[in-house]
Structure 1
Amino acid sequence: MCQACHGLDGLSKVPDAPNIAGQTEPYLVAQLQAFKSGTRKNDAMSLVAQSLSDTDIDDLAAYFSEIEINVVKIPGQ
């Protein structure tokens, strides 16, 4: 489900979805739990998070937090 918006690599494929690759595991867990509980709201994420178990949340957070990203400056910018 995640890859439709966030990509398999955690790099956003749609303008309204943030990049989640390389975010810290505790941050990702907290955000997914907030969407699931309703304390954080987003139409798409609130629906997706409802179907996630605590194990799913932990696994997704572990997966996306382990993706290494490189931030580079675009030449001439």
Structure 2
Amino acid sequence: MIARILSILCFVLFAQAALADGDIDAGRDKSRLCVGCHGVAGISNAPVYPNLAGQKEAYLVSALEAYKSRDRQGGNAAVMWSLAAGLSEADIRNLAAYYASLNPGR
């Protein structure tokens, strides 16, 4: 019985670690790929590119995963497909954490 409880506890702890937020500092470093279109602080100077600063982290993860799998279409999707293709799962979570941490105001 104790072994079963310990197994469940370990599973829960590892599952939580796997779902942990990304690393903001690592996301800031990786964001160099993004600044050309989305701006240095996640605020784009061009209306065709969306602002990323202050977006919800889960939304950014979902969007990057959809670009990586080419499920997201339209707009500048083809550009994003090639950029997202080179991102690891950790990169995606780190970028999402970084942009979610930024102030969306100008």
Pick the TM interval, shorter chain. 0.7 to 0.9
What secondary structure sits across from 2:68 in the alignment?
helix
Contact kept? 1:4, 1:13, Cα under 8 Å: no
- Measured after TM superposition, the shift of residue 45 of structure 1 is 0.5
Partner of 1:16: 48
Structure 2, gaps ≥5 residues long: 1-32
- Measured after TM superposition, the shift of residue 13 of structure 1 is 2.9
Equivalent in 58, 61, 64 of residue 26 of structure 1: 58
Which one scores higher on RCO, CA 8 angstroms, separation ≥ 6?
Answer: 2
**Identity, % of aligned positions:** 44
Equivalent in 63, 70, 73 of residue 38 of structure 1: 70
Structure 1, gaps ≥5 residues long: 72-77
Contact kept? 1:29, 1:58, Cα under 8 Å: yes
Question: Of Structure 1 and Structure 2, which has the larger fraction of its residues in helix?
Answer: 2
Contact kept? 1:10, 1:21, Cα under 8 Å: yes
Q: Does 1:2 align with 2:34?
A: yes
- Measured after TM superposition, the shift of residue 7 of structure 1 is 1.1
Amino acid at match of 1:66: S
Q: Compute the TM-score of the two structures, normalised by the length of structure 1.
A: 0.85
- Measured after TM superposition, the shift of residue 14 of structure 1 is 2.6
TM-align CA RMSD: 1.3
| Bigger Rg over Cα | 2
4+ runs deviating over 4 angstroms: none
